[in-house]
Amino acid sequence: MPCFPDRSPFDPAWNEDRLREECGVFGVVGVAEAANFVALGLHALQHRGQEAAGIVSHDPAQGFNSARRFGYVRDSFTDPVLMETLPGPIAIGHVRYSTAGSKGNTAIRDVQPFFGEFSMGGAAIAHNGNIVNALDLRREMIDRGSIFQSSSDSECIIHLMARSLQRTIPERMKDALRRVEGAFSVVAMTRTKLIGVRDPLGVRPLVLGKVGDGWVLSSETCALDIIGAEFVREIDPGEMVVITPEAGVESHRPFAPSRPRFCIFEHVYFSRPDSILGGRSVYETRRAIGAELAREAPAEADLVCPVPDSGTPAAIGFSQVSGIPYAMGIIRNQYMGRTFIEPTEQIRSLGVRLKLNVNRALIRDKRVVLVDDSVVRGTTSRKIKEMILDAGAAEVHFRIASPPTAWPCFYGVDTPQREKLLAATMSEAEMRDHLGVDSLRFISLDGLYRAVGSEARDPAQPQYCDACFSGDYPVAPSDMIERGFRLKAAE
């Protein structure tokens, strides 16, 4: 994730009021034309990053090859001419999240995977997450002569590997990652080995699959499905796997044991609903969140409507428990790409209406419960409310399938500064008045824990990373503290 240059945290499109995951990673070893499998996997992970994608492959005859492109995977990596430049039985790839003005703020050199040539051979890495001590590491290595090519915190890993005195790439990677703080799920490759690592807290997901005689690493199980791979297991927090077709999977534990703190927002929004997290269907979890929300925050209404697409499973659960009919009151335009909204300010000003349209015949004169995954700044929520009222709705009630987002994330999620988060400065009642809706309720943090199948939240040792709701950061964000950010305990 790029953490050094100043940049706007929001796309000027309708989606300006969403939390966004930064990226997805995918790797394959032991199959013919591995890069084609990676391209398919990245396509399935496109929801985790839409700005750019990259693939690195290795062929015994041609060595390492790479391709990095801005835009969607489908627009570049379906080109057979391009894919012919990425031969070999091993490859890794990365999709990167898009930010406002991304092609002005981001150079192609920022697009992963990153590659380094070492004395024992080349290696490429793709990283999902965020390194919270990257500024300190970067300064230290620049002072000692390192020359950085990108603005990404992920490049620190390559430079730390270069400075290691270990004799193999996996051992150098262990050395490097022991110095890194924050969240990281890494997929890496050498000429013959596919490597996967999760940080000791396991904040970001990483799974292992089997396809034919080969092996797969992926951010989510949905990307295994697209290539017909069998899900084997999740990579454990703090685990490194080194995979070759001959030896199979070797497991290492290079970090001191820690209590896992998986990102709870992966259950709420980031992961695809057809993925499996912790042995549990993401769709079923989101449906359970909606059911819990209906028990905690009932409403008198005629229809339950999701804010598509992320609010759909929760809306179904809310409807099932409340007995209020479920309806598609808002229709999403599935064919409107990002480029369509960029040309003029007049087009941008249309905002939500380019992406969503109200089913007027259904909504008119109805009391409507809108179920959404989160409220960040409230901009999109207000626009959607206005659309619903313009269509003739009698009442608008918001039910939110996550607790109030009052704290920024520093572990790989694109969030604004804290003062721009609605819940950081307003009570629930004040947010209701600000949005201009008849009622507004969020699921409680304990309710969210129940919905994901966990015991009640332990304030002393939370089972998940829920810092965006609680302000309880499992790893102190040292770079941001240096810039003046105040932790909850300091307020």
Domain boundaries, the chain: 14-260, 281-454
The predicted pLDDT at position 391 comes to: 95
Domains 14-260 and 281-454 share a fold: no
Grouping H, G, I as helix, E, B as strand and the rest as coil, residue 304 is: strand
Q: Give the residues of the chain that fall short of pLDDT 70.
A: 1-22, 98-106, 335-351, 490-491
Multiple choice CATH, 14-260, 3.20.20.80, 1.10.10.10, 3.60.20.10, 3.40.50.460:
3.60.20.10
- Count Cβ atoms below 10 Å from residue 325 Cβ, excluding itself: 12
The predicted pLDDT at position 263 comes to: 96
The predicted pLDDT at position 57 comes to: 98
What values do phi and psi take at 375, rounded to 5? -125, 120
Report the C-alpha gap between 220 and 231 in whole angstroms.
10
Q: Which residues are annotated as catalytic?
A: 23
* Of residues 405, 424, 438, 421, the one with CA closest to residue 297: 438
* Of residues 407, 424, 386, 399, the one with CA closest to residue 467: 407
Residue 106 CB partners (closer than 8 Å, separation 6+): 2, 51, 52, 99, 151
Report the C-alpha gap between 217 and 25 in whole angstroms.
8
Report the C-alpha gap between 314 and 273 in whole angstroms.
11
Element (H, E) at 453: none
| pLDDT tens digits, 106-120 | 689 999 999 999 999
Report the C-alpha gap between 388 and 373 in whole angstroms.
18
Longest Cα–Cα distance in the chain: 72
For residues 329 and 368, the answer to whether their CB atoms sit within 8 Å is yes
Q: Which fold has domain 281-454?
A: Rossmann fold (3.40.50)
The predicted pLDDT at position 483 comes to: 86
Grouping H, G, I as helix, E, B as strand and the rest as coil, residue 195 is: strand
The predicted pLDDT at position 44 comes to: 98
| pLDDT tens digits, 319-335 | 999 999 999 999 988 76
- Residue type at 386 in one-letter notation: E
Report the C-alpha gap between 402 and 290 in whole angstroms.
10
The predicted pLDDT at position 324 comes to: 98
The predicted pLDDT at position 71 comes to: 92
In the block, which residue shows the tokens 């379906």? 78
Residue 253 CB partners (closer than 8 Å, separation 6+): 238, 239, 240
